[in-house]
Amino acid sequence: MTALRYRISTAALALTVALLPSVAATAPRPPAAARTLQRDAEALRDAGVTGVAVRVDGPRGALTARAGVGDPTTGGPVPVDGYLRLGSTTKTFVATVLLQLVGEGKLSLDATVEEVLPGVVHGAGNDGRAITLRDLLRHTSGLPDYVYDVFPDPGAPTYFAQRWRSYRPAELVALAVRHEPVFPPGKGWAYSNTNYVLAAMVIERVTGRTWEQQVRERILRPLGLRHTDAPGTRSALPGPHARNRQQFTEGGPLFDTTVPYRPFDSGADGSMTGTARELNRFFAALAGGELLEPAQLAEMRAGVPVPSEGEYPKGTRDGLGLFTTPLSCGGSYLGHGGSGFGYVVRAATTEDGRRTVTVSAHSRSADPEATARQEQALRDLVDHALCGRS
């Protein structure tokens, strides 16, 4: 009798389910935040980027979005949480290590470059006696940027002819100081990769270990970032990853530039690789006070105004390896961008570290108007993601 009642109940349940409205069987609609994130990723794709990936981490978990293709040749999708070239986002890691050394009493931000690296910065009006470590980290040194020496003739021929060449840090600094300063130290602001080449030399001089070793020991291992690395001159990007494409001349073809340009892709100013998941973890830990003491974190966030052009929205300030940018919903976000041939990465976090976003765009245009549209779409995406806008 019990078995019979069970069979009757099962049949009744099946009949009830069959009679329910069909809408009950459809997949739930994504939340508003996920729809906005996908829409913004597609807007960046529609602005001309071949492939886009976004990851947002917050108190309610993670959201991801993709648009375009990860490999234009095969049409394959952009990988989920694929490996990225982090470009100049590397500078935030380097600044964090140097500030840890300051907190340990091994360095002072007011020390001059000459005091730590005697004889390294001199010539053509450049004077290491007048440049402080604080100047290096916030780009107020006035030092020329060496990148124009290692990529003097913009174009695909230079990229393919020179991409395997390597320079020692001291060689890059020597190239830069052949030129006159952009302005007297502390009297202006100009982004210069030379500053972080020197910052890495300072770290090695003080600790006896390379900046890469210090980043691994002080940041990557404590945070469990097993997929983030400073590969130096190793050219291979771990898989999975999207292919990067660069247009060198307006109206010209897109070239595959997934292989890095070693002259400025192998040092402390831009060589690291990683994933969006781990980059978000790093910025959340940094803003949340896990990596620096309050005094050093305050120094890092204290910035100077930067010009409102290119990737810097109005009101942006540059601290020590960390930019502060106003949010449309009030307050500001902290972060740093990275770019190289064929890619742009933008990582940002709310000031309390509770909400973070990393965007990767896997192509770059030579058309100024297209570049401006893509930059605006990228800014909108970051702002919406951190404001939680729908």
Catalytic positions, written as ranges: 88
Length of the chain: 390
Q: Which two tokens stand for residue 309?
A: 């052009």
Residue type, 10: T
| 3-state SS, residue 232 | coil
| Ramachandran angles phi, psi of 281, nearest 5° | -60, -40
Q: Find tokens 């590969």 and name the residue.
A: 231
Q: Which two tokens stand for residue 304?
A: 């100077």
Quick one: how far is CA 288 from the chain centroid? 18
Give the Cα-Cα-Cα angle 192, 356, 102 (nearest 5 degrees): 50
Contact of 44 with 374, CB cutoff 8 Å: yes
Torsion of CA 32, 34, 35, 40, to 10 degrees: 120
| 3-state SS, residue 186 | coil
| 3-state SS, residue 181 | coil
**Distance, CA of 111 to CA of 106 (rounded, Å):** 11
